[in-house]
Amino acid sequence: MLDLLDVFPVGAAGYFAAVLATIGLGLLVGTWFGRARWLIALGLVTAAALGIATVADSYDRVRGIDGNVTWAPADYRDLADRYENNFGDAVLDLRNVDFDKKDTQVTVAVNFGKATVVVPPNVDVTTVADVNAGDATVFGRRTGGLNGRQWENTDLGPDGRGGGTLRLLVHVNAGNLEVTR
């Protein structure tokens, strides 16, 4: 009912859990009134379906996101430690985040596609870039090719030292990386 009213999203696993609870209640009642053995087989089938539905519901959280995606945290509290995308272009826009007097580390991982990170103008950024096959452009410095090596670049921004520090750990398997202000 809550799912249909858009109050609380319920996945397939939630429905199977409700059915399994009902079958369990039927088995309990059947212990006193008898003839509930057939519910055991139904309960086993429902339990198997619940396991499959649970794995299917959590699959997206385990594997990351596929397709083009833009992450734009509204403030420092919305900032995640890790951003991951398997296939497609990923943009991490950090311009709304205030890094002043904060020391932060963020990881971005893209398997196949382009990773773009846009940082605020005054944050001190140390980028550790690991691009295996493709080009990396970090604040105008470019490197690339196949089997690229990990390299580090520090940019203090137009204001020099100050404005908080951000350590970006970026891994791109096959594709391009761009870090800009």
Tens-place pLDDT, residues 35-79: 888 888 999 999 998 888 887 776 555 445 667 889 999 988 888
d(CA 79, CA 94): 8
pLDDT at residue 62, as a whole number: 46
Are the beta carbons of 95 and 120 closer than 8 angstroms?
A: yes
Quick one: tokens of 42?
A: 């139904």
Q: Where are the beta strands (DSSP E) in the chain?
A: 65-66, 69-71, 82-87, 90-93, 103-112, 115-118, 124-138, 141-146, 151-155, 165-174, 177-180
pLDDT higher than 90, residue 159: no
Task: Parse the chain into domains and list their residue ranges.
Answer: 12-63, 65-180
Tens-place pLDDT, residues 83-113: 988 888 999 999 999 988 899 999 999 989 9
